[in-house]
Amino acid sequence: MENPLEPLIAKDPRYKPEAYIFIHDALDHTWSRLEQRRHVTGRELLDGVKDLALRRYGPMAKAVLNSWGVKTTDDFGAIVFSLVNAGILSKTEEDRLDDFHDVYDFNEVFVRSYDISDADLRKAE
């Protein structure tokens, strides 16, 4: 059985498989923060991406994402819409690629605003 990510990566080799897997994990993480599972907007997903990246990778989050080819929130949008076009994720009529455009700056959220004491608290939870 073929890995469903292989055609996506062959078509758009900018992003490593880990980036696609991380989006799936971030979607699950975002749903876990909601009272009930429902469609999430691009902005909600990006909030989940930010939270999960900081929880998993701490001060290395930006470097990890960059190593996968992800340098901006627009890259997450490209990944999401590749998954939508492949039938792996779904979207509503209101969802647009532009929903992911320049939502936050990676240096700001993953480097400058990273607080080591927050990370220590998250690990204790």
**What percent of the chain has pLDDT above 90?**
78
Residue 125's pLDDT is what?
Answer: 45
Express the helix, strand and coil content of the chain in percent, nearest 5 each: 65, 0, 35
CA angle 81, 12, 2 (to 5 degrees): 90
pTM above 0.95, yes or no: no
Domain ranges of the chain: 12-124
116 — pLDDT class (breaks 50, 70, 90) = low
Residue 124's pLDDT is what?
Answer: 43
Cβ contacts of residue 106 below 8 Å, gap of 6+? 62, 65, 66, 71, 72
3-12, 33-42, 64-73, 95-104: lowest mean pLDDT where?
3-12
Q: Amino acid letter at 87?
A: G
- Mean pLDDT within 98-112: 94
Residue 115's pLDDT is what?
Answer: 64
As a whole number of angstroms, the distance between CA 117 and CA 79 comes to: 31
Return the number of other C-beta atoms located less than 10 Å from residue 10's C-beta. Answer: 8
Residue 114's pLDDT is what?
Answer: 64
At 16-27, the pLDDT tens digits run: 999 999 999 999
At 69-85, the pLDDT tens digits run: 999 999 999 999 999 99
